[in-house]
Amino acid sequence: MAEDDVLLRKGHYQARLARGSDDIAAAQALRTLCFCTHGWDQDGHDPICTHVLVEDTRTDMLVCCFRMMVLTGGDHIADSYSAQFYDLSALHAFEGRLVEMGRFCIHPTNNDPDVLRLAWAAMTVFVDRNDIQMLFGCSSFAGTETKEYLDAFAMLKHRHLAPARWLPRVKAPNVFRYAARLRRKPDVKKAMMRMPPLLRSYLMMGGWVSDHAVVDTQMNTLHVFTGLEIGAIPPARKRLLRATAV
């Protein structure tokens, strides 16, 4: 394996870039396992994305993967995977480089929090190398029933909605307009328990979300558009991420 492909190593894990079709197939296999899709999990974005694999070096087991698509500016936002589900016309005015992170998953038998930390550190390396100003994607809740996530959605409404200048509008035919419908005050403990780990990480760094969730029956998820302006990440959090990435 070429050393240039390795983003970083920590303990018995390493994060590296996929090198070819075998690596991409391995990522697709893990995605299929995690997302329980009907058939093989692949789409037209796979060939044009950069894929990151996190492996356990003791066993060579793939424990996490995600893909990234770099856009040179907001005028290319319609090319993203997320644009299938959200009206992202507000982001056309974004002038910096963006990267869409998608299909993030961790092997269901792996509960080591270091895997998520390493994945974010690898993303930090990629963001720094490519002069990225915004990270975005779809953050998913398992299943399509909203009832068990109401406190989480209430917290998103009260604390984490996108700024008006970037707010995605409704495009998908089946959505849960939680910002308009929910009147409850969130139970913080319940909200954080039900918040997906990836989304929780975005929010801790100052990320924001759409005011509605897409009900994706094909993937059996509810997902919200999630954005993170790199310049808005708190300095202490940036230092922690970069410390992990060395």
- Closest to 234 in 3D by CA, of 197, 210, 204, 208: 204
Count Cβ atoms within 10 A of the Cβ of residue 142 and give its class: 0-12 exposed, 13-18 middle, 19 or more buried.
middle
Q: Which domain holds residue 175?
A: 3-244
pLDDT at 1: 46
pLDDT at 245: 64
Q: What is the SS3 assignment for 95-139?
A: CCCEEEEEEEEECCCCCCHHHHHHHHHHHHHHHHHCCCCEEEEEE
pLDDT at 219: 87
CATH number of the domain encompassing residue 199: 3.40.630.30
> How many distinct structural domains can be found in the chain?
1
What are the per-10-residue average pLDDT scores of the chain (246 residues)?
Answer: 77 95 97 86 96 97 98 97 98 97 96 93 92 97 95 98 97 98 95 95 95 94 97 84 68
